[in-house]
């Protein structure tokens, strides 16, 4: 299905935005902490044409028989549902969060297509949001920069879609660069591009999609966020970003066991991000493997967001020679990543597939990704 097949004419412009892989720094974003994602070479494309009225019409390749319609005069989260909320929500958030005046603007016909896997923890949702945000910003001549558009995307996902996510996904999708990671301070939104240098080191990132689907809007994600907020309140800080590793013994005295373990994950994960940035700059990507593994163990044991399929993928990859491996994304399913030698990729992928078969799990979807450019007009 294409734009022309749905609407009967050709689009005038096309924008695209990538999904992302988070190298390290999980659930730290909404705690004002540090993250280290990179945009991937899997993208969502928005084909667009302006209309003469104030209607937004949205269709997609993954729901070819449906066209969703909403007037710019009726933008409200109560009128949005399903995947189209990721598009309508951006228009609403541009007005509500960024203060854009949409009084005299016209609507668009929009068609969405994507090769970012849905439900794999690679942020297919942010890829839609960021492509649309960049497009609407350009086409309505709003003049917002990419950091502002990242905030718009987060606001839309939090309040229009109803998923309490941080700003990492949108920042990676908008700010990503070739063969580099985006070092993001989620409090200040300061960013630095850090060279990954995988190509020069003969390394690749193998994504191991367990095909166990998850949903951020469900209870597990919210419960973890609530635990973090409770821990910060008891410890008397604005956010867990303000707690150091040296503060953990005191935190253990003040918090119940579960809340303490949630806090310990965030505090140590923030430190792991900082250590990974320093290690990449000083020693290169081959030296970060132990940090990736420690991150996975913390998510498995302290934050308790892994699942058996993710644990098996990580363990099998490491047993067969991966430099490092960890689950990535919000958890409760989705994907793990392994940093692997290019020559060993096939053997590691085969071992993971065999291990899943032996355990009676669904066959995983395995593929490599490369750090790529962020959202753009194509």
Active site positions, annotated = 169
> How far is residue 131's CA from residue 359's CA, in Å, rounded to a whole number?
39
The answer to whether residues 328 and 189 touch, using CB atoms and an 8 Å cutoff, is: no
34-50 and 55-60 strand pairing: unpaired
> How far is residue 224's CA from residue 220's CA, in Å, rounded to a whole number?
6
Residue 322 to residues 122, 336, 347: CA-CA distances in angstroms? Answer: 20, 12, 10
Give the DSSP H/E element, type plus range, for residue 263: helix 257-282
The answer to whether residues 145 and 75 touch, using CB atoms and an 8 Å cutoff, is: no
> How far is residue 41's CA from residue 209's CA, in Å, rounded to a whole number?
16
The answer to whether residues 214 and 333 touch, using CB atoms and an 8 Å cutoff, is: yes
Phi, psi of 193 (to 5 degrees): -90, 125
> How far is residue 163's CA from residue 156's CA, in Å, rounded to a whole number?
9
Map residue 308 onto helix, strand or coil.
Answer: helix
């Amino acid at each position: 299905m294409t734009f022309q097949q749905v609407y009967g004419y050709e689009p005038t412009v096309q924008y695209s935005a990538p999904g992302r892989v988070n190298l390290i720094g999980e659930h730290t974003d909404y705690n004002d902490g540090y993250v280290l994602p990179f945009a991937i070479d899997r993208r969502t494309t928005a084909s667009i044409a302006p209309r003469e009225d104030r209607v937004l019409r949205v269709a997609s390749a993954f729901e070819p028989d449906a066209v969703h319609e909403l007037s710019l005069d009726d933008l409200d989260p109560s009128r949005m549902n399903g995947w189209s909320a990721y598009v309508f929500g951006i228009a609403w958030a541009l007005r509500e969060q960024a203060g854009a005046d949409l009084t005299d603007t016209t609507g668009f016909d929009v068609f969405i297509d994507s090769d970012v896997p849905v439900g794999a923890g690679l942020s297919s949702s942010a890829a839609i949001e960021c492509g649309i945000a960049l497009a609407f910003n350009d086409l309505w001549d709003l003049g917002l920069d990419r950091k502002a558009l990242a905030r718009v995307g987060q606001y839309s996902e939090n309040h229009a879609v109803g998923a309490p996510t941080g700003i990492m996904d949108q920042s990676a999708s908008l700010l990503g660069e070739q063969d580099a990671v985006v070092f993001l301070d989620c409090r200040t939104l300061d960013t630095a591009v850090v060279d990954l240098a995988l190509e020069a080191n003969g390394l690749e990132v193998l994504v191991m999609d367990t095909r166990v689907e998850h949903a951020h809007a469900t209870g597990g994600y919210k419960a973890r966020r609530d635990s973090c907020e409770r821990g910060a309140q008891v410890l008397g800080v604005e956010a867990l970003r303000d707690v150091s590793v040296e503060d953990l013994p005191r935190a253990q005295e003040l918090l119940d066991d579960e809340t303490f373990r949630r806090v310990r994950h965030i505090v140590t994960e923030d430190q792991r991000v900082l250590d990974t940035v320093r290690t990449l700059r000083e020693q290169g990507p081959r030296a970060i493997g132990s940090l990736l593994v420690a991150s996975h163990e913390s998510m498995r044991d302290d934050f308790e967001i892994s699942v058996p399929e993710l644990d098996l993928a990580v363990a099998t990859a490491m047993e067969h020679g991966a430099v490092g491996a960890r689950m990535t994304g919000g958890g409760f399913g989705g994907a793990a990543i392994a940093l692997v030698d290019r020559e060993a990729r096939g053997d590691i992928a085969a071992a993971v597939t065999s291990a899943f078969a032996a355990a009676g799990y669904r066959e995983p979807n395995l593929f490599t990704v490369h750090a790529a450019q962020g959202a753009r007009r194509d």
